[in-house]
Amino acid sequence: MCNQGNKEDPTNIVLGAAAKSAISSTSSQLASGATKNTKLSQVMGMVATAAVKINETLDK
């Protein structure tokens, strides 16, 4: 029988944390330059959306 207590693969947890960290860092960097360039602002919005989706996926 398989232990179903913790379905989350430890690798996924580590990768998820790394992804959150990378997105957070990228968002901060883009935010600091977003006022200079509208494209950066648009990219920042996409990064923020991706961060939310990753968080939702990891919280399942």
For the stretch 18-51, pLDDT in tens is 777 777 777 777 666 655 666 777 777 888 888 8
- Tell me, yes or no, whether 44 lies in a domain: yes
- Tell me, yes or no, whether 7 lies in a domain: no
DSSP 3-state of 9: coil
- Tell me, yes or no, whether 17 lies in a domain: no
Query: Measured in Å, how far apart are the chain's first and last C-alpha atoms?
Result: 24
CB 10 within 8 A of CB 44: no
CB 44 within 8 A of CB 34: yes
The DSSP symbol for 40 reads: H
Number of domains in the chain: 1
- Tell me, yes or no, whether 60 lies in a domain: yes
Identify the domain containing residue 37 by its residue range: 33-60
Give pTM, 2 decimals.
0.37
- Tell me, yes or no, whether 6 lies in a domain: no
Tell me how far the alpha carbon of residue 33 is from its chain's centroid: 20
- Tell me, yes or no, whether 49 lies in a domain: yes
- Tell me, yes or no, whether 2 lies in a domain: no
What is residue 24's predicted lDDT score, i.e. its pLDDT? 75
